[in-house]
Chain A
Amino acid sequence: MSDRGGTPARRAERLLRCYPAGWRERYGDEFTELLVDDICERPRSWTRTADVMRSGALARFTAAGLTGRALAPEQQMRAGLAWLGGALVAFLVTGIALWSQLTVGWQWSAPDAPATRVAMLVMSAAVLGLLVLALLSAIPLAWTLIARREERRRTRPLALATVGAVVFVLGSIHFGHGWPGTGGHPWADRGLVPGPIARFGWAATLWVTSYWAHPGALSSFPAAEIAWMVVSPIALLASAGGVAKTLRRTRLSPRVLRYQLWLGGAAAVAMAAFLAGAGSWVVSGGPAPRELFRVGTIDAAGLAVMSAALVLAFRAVGRTLTAAARSGTER
């Protein structure tokens, strides 16, 4: 980012965007004036740009609850819930990718190893639990969005979230038709997980693959599928980012925040159960029959990512709980 070009006021406003909304609200006007004066005195200064960018990033980290500074309880609760949401998305993407590979294997034949069977049951139950929690979480949030529709500056992030979600869902349904678990066999859909759900999960996480490290093998894929492997994570990120930005611009009541915290705690427990199931398969599960349940490097890497996401989720829940307790005592 450079502050060169344009009038001093315009350049100052561009630099101000480095800071989070709350900071801009409090210091925006006076800081812009200082920047305008500074730009008039020294029209070109890379050190000023670098200093403002560094300071803005620090203010953003602080607002996200990532520095040691204690935030206001409500702000800390929102930051904690945002981190929990981010950890959950990372966990789900990795976990569903791993789980959907096993659903393909089970469609062809049930696993021989009891550890793999138990793992699949636990993981499937955890996925179901997380879906229910996501639904329970979305209802009051959607209600708040509708009730406070007069709040401004939400149109763009909402549009981004909607477009991202539509592309992601439609693409996953479309590319799910190439699911290796169906394969046109007469006994398709006999597996542990209903076919439509399993193939959606498979297509949605098709991009989580070690094929990226093997361009030769990847190039043999149909062009449309490779395009989907590029587009789907972008659509997912756009959708998650749009939702996060929309919620950041929406006032949530303390009651809704506490309810979300309660669901977040339950989600962290479901994540732990899923991870235990996945770990059981990776550590003690077998590949039989017909190598359908063989553990690969990508699965071990997935386990590492999920573990990191789980630690982050529990830390976020802990910090949010502390903030909720502070908010209770300060009231």
Chain B
Amino acid sequence: MTDEPNALATLGRYAGPATLILSSLAGGTKHGYALSKDIEEFAEVRVAPGTLYEALSRLERQGLIEPVESHDRRRPYRLTGAGASVLRAHLDAQRRVAEVGLGRLAAGPGTA
């Protein structure tokens, strides 16, 4: 388990799917298929089942998400407190990068 705000960076190539999963769970508890459909809707990206569960298991190990008790075979997951702060820090950093990039694109001739 981790409380580090930059924990998402340690996920390496899973940071992409992890951000999508955390962002989806920020809107409420979801099981695997609901997660995949929600991500497809808001990000227009389809996360394949194997990749989704690779990222889910890593996030669970890091304490950023947790399973919710369920009588169904579809186990839902929810965001933990640590997961929410990691996601907030990560998205803030991404927004700063996006603002700088967009600002520079608007300001000058950055293309060849």
CB proximity to A under 8 Å, residues B39-66: 48-54, 56-57
Dominant secondary structure at the A interface = helix
Q: How many residues of A contact B (CB 8 A)?
A: 22
CB proximity to B under 8 Å, residues A292-308: none
CB proximity to B under 8 Å, residues A19-71: 23, 26-27, 29-35, 37-38, 47-48, 51-56, 58-59
Q: Is B90 interfacial (CB-CB < 8 Å)?
A: no
Binary contact readout A100-141 vs B (1 if CB under 8 angstroms, 0 otherwise):
000000000000000000000000000000000000000000
Q: Is the CB of A29 within 8 A of B49?
A: no
Rounded to whole angstroms, the CA-CA distance of A31 and B57 in the bound complex is 11
Rounded to whole angstroms, the CA-CA distance of A35 and B75 in the bound complex is 13
Among B30-38, B80-88, B103-111, the stretch that binds chain A is B30-38
Dominant secondary structure at the B interface = helix
Whether A30 touches B49, Cβ cut-off 8 Å, given contacts A37-B33, A38-B36, A58-B54, is: no
Q: How many residues of B contact A (CB 8 A)?
A: 16
Q: Is B73 interfacial (CB-CB < 8 Å)?
A: yes
Q: Is the CB of A56 within 8 A of B73?
A: no
Q: Is B95 interfacial (CB-CB < 8 Å)?
A: no
Nearest residue (CB) in B for A30 is: B75
Which A residues lie within 8 Å of B74 (CB)?
A: 30, 33-34
Rounded to whole angstroms, the CA-CA distance of A54 and B13 in the bound complex is 14
Whether A34 touches B52, Cβ cut-off 8 Å, given contacts A29-B73, A29-B75, is: yes
Nearest residue (CB) in A for B57 is: A27
Contact of A38 among B31, B33, B75 (CB under 8 A): B33
- Most chain B CB atoms below 10 A, which of A23, A34, A58, A59: A34
Contact of B48 among A23, A31, A51, A58 (CB under 8 A): A51
Contact of A30 among B32, B50, B54 (CB under 8 A): B32
Q: Is the CB of B33 within 8 A of A56?
A: no
Rounded to whole angstroms, the CA-CA distance of A48 and B50 in the bound complex is 8
Which B residues lie within 8 Å of A26 (CB)?
A: 57
Q: What are 10 A-B residue pairs whose CB atoms fall within 8 Å in the complex?
A: A27-B56, A30-B31, A30-B75, A31-B49, A33-B74, A34-B49, A37-B33, A38-B49, A47-B48, A55-B51
